C-alpha cells in the first residue's frame, strides 16, 4: 500500500538528530499514516483562486477554512491555541508557550492561489491527483504546501503532547496573491494593537536552489533576508475614435504598443554591487571550483564580469536589476472602430538599491511620449534587509534546521526574494523577516510557480513537514552561540 509505506519511510529516517525520539515513538504512527500527505491533496482540490482584491473565490475560501478544521482537529481544539478568523477567510493561530519570558515568533503561509486554466497541464490543476510520486496542482509549491505542512507538523507535535516553550503565531493569509490587504494587513494591525513584538518571522520565498548557476553542481539554501519592491502601473492612451476605413496616422493601440515595446527593449540599469547580492555571492564563492571561486571572492575586481554573466540568464538577471514585465493589454471594441482607449499593465519589481520614485522617473523617460498617461495602481519600496549574523535567532534556527534535515546541503546563504510575500506587511512587528521554503527548487519547477504543471514530490512534502516539526522544537531549545558556517 503506497500511502502507508511512504508514511513509514518518514519514521525510518535516521537523520533526525535533534528530536528523533518523537518520531520513533510508535504512538505517532497512526496519526502519521492517516494525515501525512492526504491533507495536501484535499487542499489542492479546493479552488481558492484570487483574481483581484475584489474578486476572490469566497466559497472556496470558506470551504478551505472548514477543511483545515476537519483534517487538523487537535490544532483547533487545543486549549493553549487560540484560533481567530480575520478578514473573513484568513486565520491567526496563537500558540501560547509555557515560558512567557521567550519572545514569540511567527510562521506564515497563504491559502489563495493564482488562476490556472486547464490548458497545458498534464494533470488538471485542481484535481490534486497523485501520480508518479508527485502531488499535482496549483498551490503545491505556492503555497498550500507550506500552509498544510505547518498545521500538519503542529498536529503531530500536539498528538505527542508536546507543549511549546516559546509562544508562536501562525498567520495564514487568504489574499496574498492580490496584495494581502484583507488578510496579512489586518492580522498585522491586530497584533500591533495587542502590542506584540516578534523575534522573527518565517514566510514563503526562496528555496534550496539546484541548477540555477552554471558550473555549480551542489545545491545551496538561500534564505531571503529582503524582497524586491514593486509597482503595478497602468499605461493609457486616449485618442479620438472613428471609422476604420480612414485611419489616422497613429492610433491609441499603436502609440501604446510602441511605448510598451520601448519599455521591454530598454532594461533598467544594472545595479550589481549594491544590495545583498554581493554578500550572497561572497558566501557562495567557496562552493565553486577554480577560477570561479577566485572571481567571486574578488568582486572588487571581477564585479563587472560577474554582473554581465548574471544578466544573460533571465532568473539571475532579476537579481541585478529592476525588471519590467508587460502583463495585461486591453484595447478595441469592434473590428471596424478606431479604439478610443488602449491600456496596458506593467508589473515592475524594484531592485533593493532603487526606490519607487526613481523607477517611475526612469519609466517616464523611456516612454518619452506625453500622450501616454501613467496611473500607479500599487507601489512599495524594496523591503529592509533582515540580519543574518550569528546573533540573528531566526536566521540561525533556519540554518541549524536546514543542516539537520538536509545534511547534504553544506551552504546556507542570505539572499533576496525576487517575488513578494505577505511578510512585507509585518515590518511593524519585527526587523527579522526570513523567506524560505524547505524544498529543493530547480529551474523547471521555478517556471511552474504561477505557470503550468506545478507539482511537489511526496517525499519533498513529507520533508517539509519534518522540517517544521523540528524547527518548532529547535526554537524551544536553549540557544547556544552558533558555530561559524565556513569554519575549517
Ligand atoms: C545567485 C543565486 C541565483 C538565485 C536564483 C534565484 C531563484 C529564485 C528562487 C525563488 C524565487 C521564487 C519566488 C517565489 C515567491 C512567490 C511569492 C509570490 O508569488 N508572490 C506574488 C504575490 C505578491 N505577494 O505580490 C508576487 O507576485 O510576487
Ligand atoms: Zn506565494
Ligand atoms: Zn504566488
Closest by alpha carbon to 154, among 97, 223, 86, 90? 97
- Quickly list DSSP for 441-475: E-HHHHHHTTSS--EEEHHHHHHHHHHHHHHHHHT
CA distance 92 to 191: 10
Q: Give the pLDDT score at 30.
A: 40
CA distance 302 to 292: 10
- Give the rounded distance of the alpha carbon of 334 from its chain centre: 41
Q: Whose CA is nearest to atom 23 of ligand 1?
A: 420
**Ligand 1 mean position, distance from CA 14 (Å):** 32
- Phi (first) and psi of residue 461, to 5 degrees: -65, -40
H/E stretch holding 337 reads strand 337-338
Q: Give the pLDDT score at 33.
A: 43
Percent of the chain with pLDDT over 90: 88
**Ligand 1 mean position, distance from CA 321 (Å):** 14
CA distance 277 to 261: 29
What average pLDDT does the segment 100-114 reach?
A: 98
Query: Would you kindly state where each structural domain of the chain is located, as residue ranges?
Result: 2-225+383-474, 227-380
Band the pLDDT of 13: cuts 50, 70, 90. Answer: very low
CA distances from 352 to 200, 227, 233, 308 (A): 21, 8, 19, 18
Q: Give the pLDDT score at 479.
A: 72
User: 20-44 pLDDT, tens per residue?
Assistant: 345 444 334 444 544 445 899 999 9
CA distances from 313 to 35, 229, 293, 316 (A): 41, 21, 20, 6
Residue 83 forms beta bridges with which residues?
A: 93
Q: Whose CA is nearest to atom 7 of ligand 1?
A: 315
What average pLDDT does the segment 454-478 reach?
A: 97
Tell me if 207 CB under 6 Å of ligand 1: yes
Band the pLDDT of 274: cuts 50, 70, 90. Answer: confident
Tell me if 421 CB under 6 Å of ligand 1: yes
Q: Hey, which residues are catalytic here?
A: 112, 176
CA distance 207 to 215: 19
Strands 105-110, 201-209: pairing is parallel
Predicted-complex ipTM score: 0.97
- Phi (first) and psi of residue 140, to 5 degrees: -70, -25
What average pLDDT does the segment 235-263 reach?
A: 97
User: 397-435 pLDDT, tens per residue?
Assistant: 999 999 999 999 999 999 999 999 999 999 999 999 999
pTM for the model: 0.90
- Mean pLDDT, the chain, as a whole number? 91
Q: Give the pLDDT score at 21.
A: 43
Q: Give the pLDDT score at 38.
A: 80
CA angle 65/28/474 to nearest 5° reads 80
Tell me if 315 CB under 6 Å of ligand 1: yes
Q: Give the pLDDT score at 480.
A: 57
Answer whether 425's CB lies under 8 Å from 195's CB.
no
Q: Give the pLDDT score at 486.
A: 29
Tell me if 437 CB under 6 Å of ligand 1: no
CA distance 39 to 70: 10
Closest by alpha carbon to 449, among 144, 172, 103? 144
What average pLDDT does the segment 440-451 reach?
A: 96
What average pLDDT does the segment 184-204 reach?
A: 98
**Ligand 1 mean position, distance from CA 233 (Å):** 19
Percent of the chain with pLDDT over 70: 91
**Ligand 1 mean position, distance from CA 32 (Å):** 31
The reply to whether CATH 1.10.10.10 applies to domain 2-225+383-474 is no
Tell me if 175 CB under 6 Å of ligand 1: no
Q: E strands along 210-315, which residues? A: 220-227, 229-238, 242-243
Tell me if 209 CB under 6 Å of ligand 1: yes
Q: 227-380 sits in which CATH class?
A: alpha beta
- Residue 96 in 3-state DSSP? coil
Q: Give the pLDDT score at 5.
A: 30
Residue ranges near ligand 2 (ion) with Cβ within 5 Å: 142-143, 204
Instruction: Check whether 122 has a pLDDT greater than 90.
Output: yes
What average pLDDT does the segment 452-462 reach?
A: 97
Counting Cα atoms < 13 Å in the Cβ hemisphere of 460 gives 20
Answer whether 264's CB lies under 8 Å from 348's CB.
no
Q: Whose CA is nearest to atom 10 of ligand 1?
A: 206
What average pLDDT does the segment 86-114 reach?
A: 98
Tell me if 205 CB under 6 Å of ligand 1: yes
Counting Cα atoms < 13 Å in the Cβ hemisphere of 197 gives 4
Counting Cα atoms < 13 Å in the Cβ hemisphere of 5 gives 3
User: 54-79 pLDDT, tens per residue?
Assistant: 999 999 999 999 999 999 999 999 99
Q: Among 221, 272, 421, say which to mutate for ligand 1: greatest number of ligand atoms within 8 Å of CB.
A: 421
Shared fold status for 2-225+383-474 and 227-380: no
53 Cβ partners below 8 Å, 6+ apart? 175, 178, 179, 181, 182
**Ligand 2 mean position, distance from CA 25 (Å):** 34
Closest by alpha carbon to 142, among 368, 468, 449? 449
Q: Give the pLDDT score at 23.
A: 46
Q: Among 146, 380, 419, say which to mutate for ligand 1: greatest number of ligand atoms within 8 Å of CB.
A: 419
Amino acid at each position: 500500500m503506497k500511502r502507508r509505506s511512504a508514511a513509514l519511510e518518514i519514521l525510518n529516517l535516521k537523520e533526525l538528530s535533534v528530536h528523533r525520539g518523537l518520531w520513533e515513538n510508535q504512538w505517532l504512527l497512526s496519526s502519521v499514516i492517516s494525515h501525512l500527505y492526504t491533507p495536501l491533496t484535499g487542499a489542492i482540490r479546493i479552488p481558492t483562486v484570487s483574481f483581484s482584491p475584489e474578486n476572490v473565490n469566497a466559497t472556496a475560501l470558506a470551504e478551505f477554512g472548514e477543511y483545515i478544521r476537519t483534517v487538523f482537529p487537535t490544532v483547533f481544539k487545543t486549549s493553549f491555541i487560540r484560533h481567530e478568523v480575520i478578514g473573513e477567510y484568513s486565520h491567526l493561530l496563537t500558540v501560547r508557550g509555557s515560558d512567557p519570558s521567550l519572545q514569540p515568533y511567527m510562521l506564515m503561509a497563504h491559502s489563495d492561489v493564482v488562476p490556472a486554466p486547464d490548458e497545458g497541464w498534464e494533470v488538471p490543476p485542481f484535481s490534486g491527483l497523485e501520480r508518479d510520486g508527485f502531488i499535482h496542482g496549483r498551490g503545491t509549491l505556492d503555497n498550500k504546501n507550506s500552509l498544510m505542512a505547518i498545521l500538519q507538523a503542529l498536529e503531530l507535535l500536539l498528538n505527542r503532547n508536546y507543549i511549546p516553550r516559546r509562544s508562536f503565531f501562525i498567520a495564514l493569509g487568504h489574499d496574498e496573491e492580490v496584495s494581502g490587504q484583507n488578510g496579512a494587513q489586518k492580522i498585522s494591525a491586530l497584533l500591533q494593537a495587542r502590542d506584540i513584538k516578534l523575534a522573527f518571522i518565517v514566510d514563503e520565498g526562496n528555496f534550496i536552489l539546484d541548477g540555477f548557476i552554471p558550473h555549480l553542481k551542489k545545491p545551496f539554501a538561500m534564505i531571503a533576508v529582503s524582497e524586491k519592491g514593486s509597482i503595478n502601473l497602468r499605461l493609457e492612451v486616449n485618442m479620438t475614435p472613428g471609422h476604420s476605413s480612414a485611419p489616422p496616422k497613429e492610433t491609441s493601440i499603436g502609440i501604446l504598443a510602441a511605448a510598451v515595446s520601448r519599455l521591454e527593449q530598454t532594461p533598467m540599469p544594472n545595479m550589481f554591487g549594491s544590495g545583498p547580492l554581493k554578500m550572497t555571492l561572497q558566501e557562495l564563492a567557496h562552493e565553486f571550483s577554480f577560477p570561479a571561486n577566485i572571481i567571486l571572492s574578488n568582486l572588487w575586481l571581477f564585479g563587472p564580469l560577474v554582473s554581465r554573466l548574471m544578466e544573460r540568464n533571465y532568473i539571475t538577471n532579476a537579481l541585478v536589476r529592476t525588471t519590467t514585465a508587460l502583463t495585461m493589454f486591453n484595447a478595441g471594441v469592434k473590428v471596424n472602430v478606431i479604439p478610443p482607449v488602449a491600456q496596458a499593465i506593467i508589473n515592475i519589481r524594484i531592485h533593493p538599491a532603487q526606490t519607487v520614485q526613481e523607477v517611475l522617473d526612469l519609466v517616464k523617460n523611456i516612454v518619452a511620449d506625453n500622450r501616454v498617461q501613467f496611473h500607479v495602481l500599487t507601489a512599495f519600496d524594496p523591503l529592509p534587509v533582515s540580519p543574518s549574523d550569528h546573533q540573528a535567532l531566526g536566521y540561525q534556527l533556519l540554518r541549524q534546521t536546514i543542516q539537520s534535515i538536509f545534511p547534504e546541503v553544506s551552504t546556507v546563504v542570505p539572499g533576496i526574494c525576487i517575488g513578494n510575500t505577505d511578510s512585507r506587511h509585518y515590518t511593524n512587528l519585527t526587523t527579522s523577516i526570513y523567506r524560505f521554503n524547505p524544498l529543493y527548487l530547480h529551474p523547471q519547477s521555478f517556471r511552474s510557480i504561477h505557470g503550468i504543471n506545478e507539482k511537489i514530490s511526496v517525499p519533498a512534502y513529507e520533508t517539509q513537514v519534518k522540517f517544521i516539526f523540528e524547527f518548532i522544537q529547535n526554537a524551544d531549545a536553549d540557544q547556544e552561540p552558533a558555530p561559524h558556517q565556513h569554519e575549517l
